A = this chain, B = another copy of it.
């Protein structure tokens, strides 16, 4: 058992979908969430820059005494995970591996599509991970850069969201994928729209629950799972905590007491 918190970070709000699953699966754990609202989005930025942002955040989380770090951002998982693991003193779990594993287990026709940011798609991290589990899979990767601003601006229910989804997903439909990975923590917020465009026969892989289970397994195996008491949630944002709190409360459908400002590199 360990009362130490689990650190979770994302470029902005998207990682809250993972946070929600962690709170449900691990209600006794203290959680520290960091949203990098000063540098959001990560998706179109380079490996070098995303790694620099990620390392800064991980250092801050370590200074808060976390027992492990969950990279609740696909772009950061795809681009920065090896460096993070090298430079951190606590274990680091990303979101790519659990999602790839789940997709490989789900597909029947061997055709999988990955929706992600430009950075995630370019890295081939999902494709590489999927092929470890199903070497004969046929994989189509599609970057959907406008999905993140649609979510960050709370525009997911507007007709434009549907039109944008139809555009991005036409390649996925042509690929005849039966399994589609929502390879960005923002995308589950657009799940209804994506499901509407792809139809009921396609399985959407939202890695939030899978990641939460992977974290639980890790804590158990290392005997550091907290099993009593109500876990505390502490939230930091690198810019405009009031705005972050307003949008986060809406997304989490749950109250956040306070969002603290923590500037990086300043």
List residues of A whose CB falls within 8 A of some B CB: 37-39, 44-46, 48-49, 52, 145-146, 148-150, 152-153, 155, 158-160, 163-164, 167, 238-240, 243, 263, 265-266
Contacts and interface: CB of A to CB of B under 8 A. Distances in A.
B167 A46 contact: no
Given A160-B163, A265-B265, A38 B45 contact: yes
B49 A239 contact: yes
Contacts of A266: 52
A249 to B, nearest CB: 17
Interface of A is mostly: loop
B149 A45 contact: no
Contacts of A158: 163-164, 167
Given A49-B240, A146-B160, 17 more contacts: A37-B45, A38-B39, A38-B49, A44-B152, A44-B153, A46-B240, A49-B238, A146-B149, A148-B149, A158-B163, A158-B164, A158-B167, A159-B163, A160-B160, A160-B163, A160-B164, A265-B265
Given A149-B146, A149-B149, A150-B146, A243 B167 contact: no
A164 B161 CA distance: 9
23 contacts: A37-B45, A38-B45, A38-B49, A44-B152, A46-B239, A46-B243, A49-B238, A49-B239, A52-B266, A145-B153, A146-B149, A146-B150, A146-B153, A146-B155, A146-B160, A148-B149, A149-B149, A158-B163, A158-B164, A160-B160, A160-B163, A160-B164, A160-B167
A141 to B, nearest CB: 17
A168 to B, nearest CB: 10
Contacts of A46: 239-240, 243
The 9 closest A-B pairs by CB, nearest first: A149-B149, A46-B240, A160-B163, A49-B239, A160-B164, A145-B153, A160-B160, A38-B49, A265-B265
Given A145-B149, A149-B146, A167-B160, A239 B155 contact: no
B44 A243 contact: yes
A158 B162 CA distance: 13
Contacts of A145: 149, 153
